[in-house]
Amino acid sequence: MPHLRHEKLHPTPVVGVDEAGRGPLAGPVVAAAVVLPARGVPRGIDDSKKLSTAERERLFGRLSDCAQIGIGIVEPDEIDRLNIYWATMKAMTLAVDRLCEGLGCPPGHVLVDGNRLPRWSYTATAIVSGDAHSLSIAAASIVAKHTRDRIMLAHAEAYPLYNWHSNKGYGCRHHLAALREHGPTPLHRRSFAPVAAAFAAMSPA
């Protein structure tokens, strides 16, 4: 289970950062930055992938009430322009920048899930599988995942053929079949191979 040992090594406020949506064929990549409260941290915070949708929704609500949160979103057209790695780095930077605007001060330290850090001026540490080891990063993973899921559910209303209400833009069998049959939407990432192939198939010979 994630814990606060990493947070206790650094000056406050300590920010946890994680992202959701690196792998999907459609939709944005979303990053969240979270500062947990000194007291009253919600119980049950864990890596978002280990939680049910209902558990993530409950914890998102609790975190929204008690934690400081910043969100960074990079849309598909920018993902295509930057590539998914740099788009993820930008989303993380936006999330921390917006959190700092709310805090009115820079972070004491930033804990980032993964093995690489964005090019920023913040003092930070990358932690591999950080959402399993840091409570702040795990909280950020919940916020990022829940936020992105809500975005994709809203888009699913406009594009029902792609089953985004279920797959959230990931390349499952139904999504890939719809992509081949109906072609890409404006929310698809053209730089991702299955989407590029669908665009190529639609182009006149």
CATH of the domain at 103: 3.30.420.10
Q: Per-residue pLDDT averaged across 38-43, rounded?
A: 95
In a domain, residue 86? The reply is: yes
Mean pLDDT across 128-148:
98
Domain-located, residue 71: yes
Task: Judge whether 67 lies within some domain.
Answer: yes
Tell me the percentage of the chain whose pLDDT exceeds 90.
Answer: 97
Backbone phi, psi, residue 95, to 5°: -60, -45
Measured CA to CA, the distance from residue 42 to residue 63 in angstroms comes to 7
- With a cut of 80, say whether residue 204 has pLDDT above it: no
Domain housing 135: 7-158
Query: What is the rounded distance in angstroms from the CA atom of residue 21 to the CA atom of residue 92?
Result: 12
Confirm whether 29 is domain-assigned. yes
- Which residues are part of a known binding site? 18-19, 113
How many structural domains compose the chain? 1
The pLDDT of residue 205: 55
Instruction: Let me know if residue 69 belongs to a domain.
Output: yes
Could you tell me what percent of the chain has a pLDDT over 70?
A: 99
pTM of the model: 0.96
For the beta carbon of residue 202, count every other beta carbon within 10 angstroms: 10
Residue 130 maps to a domain: yes
Task: Evaluate whether residue 169 is within a structural domain.
Answer: no
Are the C-beta atoms of residues 148 and 156 closer than 8 Å to each other?
A: no
Instruction: Note whether residue 108 is domain-resident.
Output: yes
Could you list the residues known to form a binding site for a divalent metal cation, using ranges. Answer: 18-19, 113
CB 170 within 8 A of CB 60: no
* 183 pLDDT above the threshold of 90: yes
